[in-house]
Amino acid sequence: MLLVWEKPSLGLLCVGFSAACGAWALYRLRGRQVHVEWKVAGVLLLLTALCSCYLPASAGLPLFCGICLLSALCVPLQDMLPVHGKAVLITGCDSGFGHALAKYLDDLGFRVFAGVLNKKGAGAEELRSACSPRLSLLQLDITNSEQTNKAYTEVQSSLQNSGLWGIIHNAGVLGYVGDGELLPLSVYKKCMDVNFFGAVQISKTFFPLLRRAKGRLVTISSMAGHAPLPGFAAYGASKAALSMFSGVMRQELSKWGVKVATIQPGAFRTSIYGPQEKWSDQDEHILGDLAADAKEDYGEDYVKTMKDCYQEMISMSSADLSPVLSDVYHALLAKRPRYLYSPGRSAYIIPCIFHYFPLWIYDVITNKMFEGTKKLPPRALQTHQTHNEKHE
C-alpha cells in the first residue's frame, strides 16, 4: 500500500508549537522559585483574546505562538540563595504572621531570633516546643529602648562577626476600627509608636549587623497603607509612614549591598483584631474621650455599632497565611527580590482601582465594601433624612 503524507493543518502546527514553548518554559522553571505576577498572565490572556477575535486563524494562532515563545524567553530565572548560615530577626512573634514566620523560617534552616512581648506567654512557649534549638527567643517590646538595646547585645554576641542576614519588621497593632473623627488620639499615637517608630528604632539599632552581612530588610506593611480604607485612619496612616520609610531605606541602603522589600498583605486572619473582650471596651473608650458636639452628632448608638465590624472583617479574611510566608521567603533569598509584594487577592485589586480608576469610583467601591459593617447612619444624618422625607 502506498502511504501518502498529508500536510498538517495550520491549527495542528500552532498547537504543537505552543506545546513545545510551554514545555520549554516549564523546563526553565524546573527547580527554581519564580514569582510570576498574575497581571502578566492577564495581559497574555487579553492578547490571546484579541488574536482570536480580530485576526484570522492564519495570523492569530501564529501570533499567539509567538507570544508564548516570547514569554518563555522573558521568564526570569530567579536563582535562590542558600539558607545555610543565615540569621534573621523577626519582631512580633507572639502570634499572627510573626509566629508563623518564626516556625516557617526555622523549618527552612534559618537561625531565627524571634522577638516576643512576653517570653513566658503561650506564643513563646509554643515556639520553644515546636522549633529547633536554632531559634532564640528575645524579650522585645520594640517601643522600649532598653529591651531593644539588650536584644541587640544578645544577637551580636550570638552571631559574633557573621552579621545579620535579615530583619523582618512584623510587629504591629490595629487599635480600633472606626471613623477617624471618633478615634481617640491615643489610638493614633499607639499605632505610630508601634507600627512606625518601633520599626525605625529596630532598624537604627540593628542596621550595623545587617550592613555587615549585606542582607535583607523586609517590612510587613499593609494594603491599608497603600490605599485609603474607611475606618482605618490611624492604622493606615502609620502603615503609610512605614511603607515610605521602607522605600527610602531601599534607596539609601543599596550602596551597602542591602536589598529592601515591602510586603503589603491583603485581608488575612491573624490576632491583630484582638480578643472579643477588647471589642466590647471600644465604645466605652471612644465615648469617654469624645467631644460633646461629636457625641451629639454621631450618637451613642452609632458608636456602639462600630465594633460589629470586627466579626465581619474576620469572616472576609483568609486563614491561609502561606502567601505571606512565601513572599517573605522570596524577599529573603531571591537574588533579585521584588521591591513590593502584595499577597492576597484584595491586596492587588484595591490599590489597582485606587491608582487607575477615577477616585469617585474607588470611593463608591470601598464604601460599598464596608457598608455592611455600619448598621445605621450617624444620629444627625438620621434626623436630616427623616426631615427631608416629611417634606417630600
Closest-CA residue to 261 (of 181, 333, 172): 333
Mean pLDDT of all residues belonging to the chain: 82
Average pLDDT over residues 53-75: 58
Quick one: pLDDT at residue 185?
95
Domain boundaries, the chain: 39-75, 87-273+318-355
Please state, in angstroms and rounded to a whole number, the distance separating the CA atoms of residues 126 and 181. Answer: 40
User: How many other C-beta atoms can be found within 10 angstroms of the C-beta atom of residue 360?
Assistant: 8
Each residue's pLDDT tens digit, 163-177: 999 999 999 998 888
Please tell me the pTM assigned to this model.
0.79
Quick one: pLDDT at residue 190?
95
Please state, in angstroms and rounded to a whole number, the distance separating the CA atoms of residues 361 and 287. Answer: 33
Please state, in angstroms and rounded to a whole number, the distance separating the CA atoms of residues 258 and 5. Answer: 61
Record: fold of 87-273+318-355: Rossmann fold (3.40.50)
Secondary structure of 230-258 in the HEC alphabet?
CCEHHHHHHHHHHHHHHHHHHHHHHHHCC
Closest-CA residue to 224 (of 161, 284, 268): 268
273 is catalytic: no
Q: How far apart are the first and last CA of the chain?
A: 92
Question: Is 238 exposed, middle or buried, given 0-12, 13-18 or 19+ CB atoms closer than 10 A?
Answer: buried
Cell matching residue 355:
491608582
| Side-chain-facing half-sphere of 244: CA atoms under 13 Å | 9
Each residue's pLDDT tens digit, 79-116: 789 999 999 999 999 999 999 999 999 999 999 999 99
Of 6-15, 75-84, 262-271, give the range with the top mean pLDDT: 262-271
Q: Are 216 and 259 in contact (CB under 8 A)?
A: yes
Query: Who wins on pLDDT, 18 or 124?
Result: 124
Q: Per-residue DSSP letters for 174-196? A: ----B-TTTS-HHHHHHHIIIII
- For residue 259, report the phi and psi dihedrals to the nearest 5 degrees: -105, 140
Q: Are 269 and 319 in contact (CB under 8 A)?
A: yes
Catalytic member of 104, 235, 341, 362: 235
